[in-house]
Amino acid sequence: MKTDLHIHTWASDGTWSPETLLEKLNEERIKIFSITDHDTIKSSEAMLNIPLENEMVYIPGVEVAATYKDREYHLTVYNYNRTSEFLDLIEWNNDTRLEYNYDFLHLLSKKHENVSLDDYFDYVEDPTRGGWKALNYLIDRGIYRTMFDYFDGLKETDLTLRFKEPEEVIETAKKEGASVFLAHPSYYFRDGVMSGEELDFWKIAGIDGVECYTPYAPDRDRIEYYKDYCNKNDLMISGGSDCHGGFLERKLGFPNIDAGDLRINSLFDKSDML
C-alpha cells in the first residue's frame, strides 16, 4: 500500500487543512499516512475525528525539534502520548521559536519604520498561505521577497535558536510507548549521507528508527545506505514526502513508498488502539 509518513498541514507551515489533505491523499491513492506538523498536534488530533475511506490507515504524528552540535534537527514521533510532559515539550519548542522570531522582528524594527512588534501582533495571517507568521508579515511589509531571503537576513544577525538536547527530547517522547525516528538524515548533508558515526549517536540517543525514504535522498544508493544501517542495528524504517502543500515544491507521495519497503508494523498496532 502506498505510504507517506511525513506530511505538514496549515497547523504549522503547510497550506492544507486536514480535510483538504485527505482529499489529496485519495487523489494520490495513498493508503497509509501521518500528519507530522512542527511541534504541534492540532491537525493530528483533528484528523482522528475525520472518517477515513478506502481502507486508509492514519498514524498520528508530530515533528519535534532538537539541537545537536548547534544545529536544529528534527525527530518524527508516531503514536505520541498526550502526557503533560510531552505536551509541555512541544509547547516549549513553539515558545522558543516564537521568541526567536520576536527578537528578529525587534532588530528589523530598528532599520525599517514599517516594522514593529505591535504591528506584527495586529497582523492577521492566512493559514492557507503556508509558512509562518513572521515570514509572511515581513514579505507583506516588503522587507523580504522569499523564505530564502528571510533566512539570509537571519544569518546576518547574532541570534541563536536552541532547542533541548536530543536525549531529553527522545526520552520525553518515548515515554509510554511512542516511537521516535530521525527525520530526513540527508537533509543535513545535501548531496551526501549522514555518517555512520553520527547515525550511531542517534541510535545511542534512543531513536527507534530512521526515515530512509525522503525527497532529499530519493536515489536508490542512499536509500539502501540508510536501510542497511537500520537492518544491521535493528531499527525501524520509515519514509515520507515532507510535503507542505503549496508552500514548498515537495510533492505528496514522493518518493513513491510502498508499506512493504518499510519496517513499521509496530506503528499499526499502536494506532489501532487509539
Radius of gyration over every alpha carbon of the chain, rounded to an integer in angstroms: 19
- CA-CA distance, 100 to 132, in Å (whole number)? 13
Is 5 a residue whose pLDDT tops 70? Answer: yes
DSSP designation for 70:
T
CB burial string 196-230: b at 16+ within 10 A, e below: eebbebbbebebbbbbbbbbbbeeeebbebbbebb
| pLDDT tens digits for range 262-273 | 999 999 866 554
Is 196 a residue whose pLDDT tops 90? Answer: yes
- For the residues 138-147, what does the mean pLDDT come to? 98
| pLDDT tens digits for range 45-74 | 999 999 998 789 999 999 999 999 999 999
Is 192 a residue whose pLDDT tops 60? Answer: yes
Q: CA-CA distances (angstroms) from residue 111 to 144, 147, 217?
A: 13, 19, 40
Query: Under CATH, what is the fold of the domain 3-86+162-271?
Result: TIM Barrel (3.20.20)
Which grid cell sits at 196? Answer: 555512520
Question: With contact defined as beta carbons under 8 Å apart, do 12 and 37 qualify?
Answer: yes
- CA-CA distance, 165 to 157, in Å (whole number)? 23
- CA-CA distance, 28 to 207, in Å (whole number)? 30
274 pLDDT band, cuts 50/70/90, is very low
pLDDT number for residue 190: 83
Q: Which residue is associated with the grid cell 491537525?
A: 43
pTM score, whole prediction: 0.94
pLDDT number for residue 115: 98
Out of 29-38, 64-73, 96-105, 263-272, least confident range: 263-272
Out of 20-24, 45-49, 80-84, least confident range: 80-84
Query: Roughly how many angstroms between the first and final C-alpha of the chain, as a whole number?
Result: 21
Out of 106-120, 239-253, 260-274, least confident range: 260-274
Structural domain boundaries in the chain: 3-86+162-271, 90-155
Question: With contact defined as beta carbons under 8 Å apart, do 41 and 68 qualify?
Answer: no
Question: With contact defined as beta carbons under 8 Å apart, do 61 and 44 qualify?
Answer: yes
